[in-house]
Structure 1
Amino acid sequence: MQKRINLTLLKRFWSIARLYWFGEEKWKARGLLAIITLMLVTYTVLSVILNQQRGSLITALSQMSEDEFWRGLLIYFGVILAYIPLFAGANYLIDLLGLFWRRWLTGRFLDNYFLDRAYYKLTSNGDIDNPDQRISQDVRSFTQDSLTFLLVTISSLFQVIGFSSQLWTISFPLVIFLFIYAIAGTLITVGVFGRALVRLNFEQLKREANFRFGLVRIRENAESIAFYQGENQEESQVKFRFDDVFDNFRRLILWQDLGLKSFTNSYQLITYAVPFLILAPRVFSGELEVGKVTEAQGAFLQIFFSLNLVVSRFQSLTEFGAGINRIYSFANYINLAKAEKEQTYISDYPTIERVNEEQIAVENLTLQTPNYQRTLVQNLTVEVPQNGGLLIMGASGCGKSSLLRAIAGLWESGSGKIVRPPLSEILFLPQRPYMILGSLREELIYPQTESNLSNEELANILEQVNLPHLIERFGSLNVEMNWGDVLSLGEQQRVAFARILINEPRYVVLDEATSALDVENEESLYEKLQTIAVTYVSVGHRPTLQKYHQIVLQLAEDQSWQVNPINLQK
């Protein structure tokens, strides 16, 4: 079972790692890796020389050989002069390569996160929690830790080769003992502690993320919580999440500190005495110089810690393994790794057909919730008049906003056909507008990133949506603020309406986009909407909206519907 788990983990790791090492930056990455490897080889050679010189210094002291001592000391410091910058340079290049890898992989995750609205679809996927943590923290750990483990392994291999040849000339029984001892320790560590620590570390990452997410939600919804006086419930929820963190971490440190660390410490301490135990009889008989014992112990410990890589770093490896599982499931969901699915699942549920045409219409549409547990509308057929408006009305919960989600392609559950133009020609305005983190200019031109409109033209548009003093109030269009906090909901809705005049879409969908405005402001905005060549769909409750539309679609809670021209409304 453990072998299967390790192979699965390795396969998951490689499905993501190969994207970089065989991607467009592969030659830069491989070149840096080759330079680092060459530096590690040189580093190992210098380490062997230093260990040899330490033994020579001890021998020179024991034999009272002053010339040999000072000559050995000169060589020792000469090697150090090359050793220190080589060590620092290798570490710098390792961190630099990890940084390049992280930048590349983060970019790919973000590309796929926003592709086909995966970020939205993740909201209904309970298996992929906290994507923000996976992109920021797990990607960082994946790139930096995997590179560290790779190069530590390579360095350990070089150290084993270099110091084994040195130790073999002193005592080959020590070499044989080392390999047997290291293999036994690795098998015990993996077999006894492996599965438990991987599982506990995976769960710890998840619970820590849930705890942090709960705190973030309180900050983002502070005003609403304060109005409701919901402090007791919010505190209870956060403490409950922290209790999850506490309980799992208590089990983790039980395995980690009392179990794994107790074993590894005793396992490693034994090795310090082994060289003396084996070589002491040869020193007492005069067969071996005293300095050779120091040299043998240095080589012995270097080989031991190199062979002991899994045991000494096992806690870090289990954390890394938990991170691989999290980042793999996320990458698999957003189709980044294109890895083979562990389970092949073909949905038997129907999906809505979509047709691109220069109109908005639905034909025989039956709309269901994403989990297919509730039907909202049955066999709906309606067409939005070109350069005119459709008003959707009905009781709360009857499917008005859900119909807009289906038109936008966010919901696909159901049957029938939705006809619409490309999404690039449609601007959607939700009830609570999205306020970006940026300047007032960027806020107005959103979702565009650039606009040729001058400051005067933007000021004129603000005046048309009844926000004439907004620029004067904040000083300029370039000021950056948290607009969701400093603007009222009514002001935010008028800023969102200004985006229609700035972006000039051919189609607009408004989901109660004027609900926070008084009737006078609402009528002013809809009158402005009627003066431009735009086809629009509105969701609203106020009867005063009807005169700005040609058709009313009335939805009912029993899944029925009715379409009436406005001139038939009394």
Structure 2
Amino acid sequence: MTAPKTPVSDDVISAAGLDMSFMDQLRMAGQSFWASRVRGRIILLSLSLLGVLLLLTYGQILLNRWNQPFYNALENRDLSAFWHELRNFFYIAAFLLVINVAQTYLSQMTALYMREGLARDMVDQWLKGRRAYRLSVSSPLGVNPDQRLHEDARKLAESTTSLSVGLVQSTILLISFVSVLWALSGHFVLPIFGHQVSIPGYMVWGALIYAGGAAVASNLVGARLTRLNAIRYAREAEMRAALMRSNEHLEQIALARGEDVERTAIHSTIDNVLGIIRKLAMALTNLTWVSAAFGWLALIVPVLIASPAFFSGTMSFGGLMMAASAFTQVYTALRWYVDNFGAIADWKATLLRVMVLRAALTEPDLVDPVGAQIQVEVGKPGVLTFEDLYIRTPKEAEANWGGYHLKEDNPSILAGERILINGDPGINRRQLFNAMAGLWPYGEGTIRLPEEDHILFVPQTPYMPEGRLRDLLAYPEAAEIYDDEAIVAALKAVKLGRLTSALNDRQRWDRALSKEEQMSLAFAHILLRKPHWVVFNDVLEGLEPDTTDILTGIMADLKDATLIYLGRNAAYLEALSPRVLHLERLDVPVPGAD
């Protein structure tokens, strides 16, 4: 098993062994957009926004043209012209007000649908084909993906909309006002050291030089921002995961008197977050020296550049103000990148985190092992077979040796059998359980499941989703397919008749019920589903004797089901007299290993 070795800035991404270029990230983002169910709405809103931005630019051109007659009226003390231009100003301002409101609404709606499309696509990719579990055992990216699925996806959608609108608007302004500024300064002659020098469009060149200097300075000062933001988001995700983990295990922590240990651990994650935020604060402070300096100078630079024409008498006061206004528009458009350098760095860091997760989900070769893997296939009806099966950890799979296998030579299990699979001390039987379910690929060999037979896998800790009790009993099927009579009969069979009046109650059942009651609910689910094959992962371990007797009695009554129990349980042996298979540890390289 190999993985890319070049690390990227995000600590978690580096640990995952993933490295994506910026173009790869954009390609992945494009795939996400095209897969979105709301891409049509986004395209329509984007086209509407483009139209609004064009109208906005037209209004700003009208406002720029308004400068010359208005300030000339002031210079000439022409009261009639002054009131006429003032009335024109209110017409232009009203037009721009309507356009600004439309722009805000369309921008917000675009961001909303972009977030919807991205969030739904990411969740669909995460919960498809058991990818979430495979990622959780193969990569650090799967440990706490909630930050990327929720907060980072929100930030990416909103910042993409905001930055895209700003970039398009600045581009339109630049194209529109460069021609205006060029015309205003196209034939001006500057007296330089006693010579008359003609510089066509010299104010355009002045704006380019000024904005270029600001861009270069910002790049030099703010180059670290993208990397620092990526690290910050990773560490904030770790802090939230630590808080969630502690909240989910409050009882165990309290019983162990572990509050001091947890507090120290959480304070450590807070220190990590604060440490990177301090570095970000210093980087942003340094960037402010550049952005603020060029911003304040922009108040006077347009007038300074246009003043030679005014003082030479070739430009009126109104023309000076019109040229200064046009210069400001051109410079504002050119310095959009400077003003948004921090936002762009933040956007790139967020794009990296979200798209790396999507790449890991949609391109499993990035995180899944290469080479030999356990294959799970459909075999003959009524037969489950193991062929040359070896179970390993990821490191053992990479080395292609070690792990464990079934001591019996390629055993088969026939429909209706009762099977117990135990093993040498220290063997993790859950890996075989997950391999049979198609979740654990590490190792080699083939597991052939019976064709067209309903197989139910019952883990040692059943999943208790929040919601109505009837929904929990039917999960993942719809509760409506089971009538109340069947549900009540199943609950009574596992001695949970007291819960029959709570079928429509909503609560955290994993906290409301004991371990025995939770496992009893899992068996009530089996009675409702009536599977042909049931694979148990040590479900009777640690239960009270009375509960064990009830559940083994239910197992014995499942006459039409094939039962496979992974574990060492005397009660199961006594109640069902199963055929025993044995997992054997391999301390030497397996046959055929390199």
The TM-score, its normalising length taken from structure 2, stands at 0.85
Question: Structure 1 residues 470, 127: closer, same or farther in 2, change over 3 A?
Answer: closer
Q: Counterpart of 1:509?
A: 535
Matched, 1:247 2:275: yes
The answer to whether residue 391 in structure 2 is matched with residue 363 in structure 1 is no
* Aligned partner of residue 478 in structure 2, secondary structure: coil
Task: Report the residue type matching 1:81 in the other structure.
Answer: A
Per-residue deviation at 1:193? 2.8
Identical-pair percentage:
26
Deviation at 1:352, TM superposition (A): 4.5
Unaligned 5+ residue runs, structure 2?
A: 1-8, 10-19, 186-200, 589-594
Task: Quote how far apart the aligned CAs of 1:209 are.
Answer: 0.6
Match of 2:227 in 1: 199
The residue type paired with residue 142 of structure 1 is: L
CA 18–297 in structure 1, closer or farther in 2 if over 3 Å, else same:
farther
Q: What 5-or-longer segments of structure 1 have no aligned partner?
A: 561-570
- Paired with 1:413 and 1:323, the residues of 2 have a C-alpha distance of 32
Letter in 1 for 2:71: I
Q: What's the counterpart of residue 272 of structure 1?
A: 299
Structure 1 distance, partners of 2:34, 2:331, is 31
Task: Report the AA paired with residue 319 of structure 2.
Answer: K
When residues 389 and 437 of structure 1 are mapped into structure 2, their CA distance, relative to the original with a 3 A threshold, is same
> 2:370 aligns to what?
347
Distance 1:434 1:534, change over 3 A: same
2:85 counterpart of 1:72: yes
- Could you say which residue in structure 1 is the equivalent of 2:544? 518
- Of the three residues 84, 95, 101, the one matched with 1:82 is 95
Q: Are 1:175 and 2:198 an aligned pair?
A: no
Whole-angstrom distance in 1 between the partners of 2:287 and 2:413 = 68
Question: Is 1:304 paired with 2:325?
Answer: no
From 409, 412, 415, the counterpart of 2:438: 409
C-alpha separation between the residues in 2 aligned to 1:40 and 1:104? 24
- 8 Å contact from structure 2 (residues 203, 327) kept in 1: yes
Aligned partner of 1:155: which letter? Q
1:499 is aligned, of 520, 525, 532, to: 525
Alignment of 1:95-110 (within 5 A): 95-110=108-123
How many residue pairs get aligned? The number is 546
Report matched runs for 1:133-172 at 5 Å: 133-171=147-185, 172=201
State the shift of 1:24 in Å: 6.3
Secondary structure of the residue that 2:534 maps to in structure 1? strand
Alpha-carbon distance in structure 2 between the residues aligned to 1:18 and 1:446: 32
What SS does structure 1 have at the residue aligned with 2:465? Answer: coil
Native 8 Å contact 2:556 2:576 kept in 1: yes
Residues 499-508 or 133-142, more deviating: 133-142
Query: Residues of 1 paired with 2:585 and 2:305: CA distance?
Result: 87
Cα 1:396–1:210, aligned 2, differ >3 Å: closer, same or farther?
Answer: farther
User: Secondary structure of 2:441's match?
Assistant: coil
Which of 354, 358, 366 is the matching residue for 1:331? Answer: 358
Give the superposition deviation at 1:224: 1.0
Deviation per CA, 1:70-96, whole angstroms, max 9, x where unpaired? 111111111222221221112211221
Q: State the distance in 1 between where 2:485 and 2:369 align.
A: 55
CA deviation map 1:212-244 (0-9, x unaligned): 111110001111111111112211211111222
Query: Structure 1 residues 346, 461: closer, same or farther in 2, change over 3 A?
Result: closer
Amino acid at match of 1:347: V
Residue in structure 2 matched with residue 489 of structure 1 by the alignment: 515
Q: 1:231 aligns with which of 256, 259, 264?
A: 259
Mapping for residues 369-448 of structure 1, pairs under 5 Å: 369-372=393-396, 374-377=402-405, 380=408, 381-394=410-423, 397-421=426-450, 425-448=454-477
Shift in CA distance, 15/301, structure 1 to aligned 2, threshold 3 Å: same
Deviations 1:2-45 (CA, angstroms, capped at 9, x unpaired): xxx9x931442133225425876554433322221011000111
Q: Tell me the secondary structure at the aligned position of residue 436 of structure 1.
A: coil
Partner of 1:567: none
Residue identity opposite 1:415 in structure 2: E
Aligned-partner Cα distance in 1 for 2:279–2:72 = 51
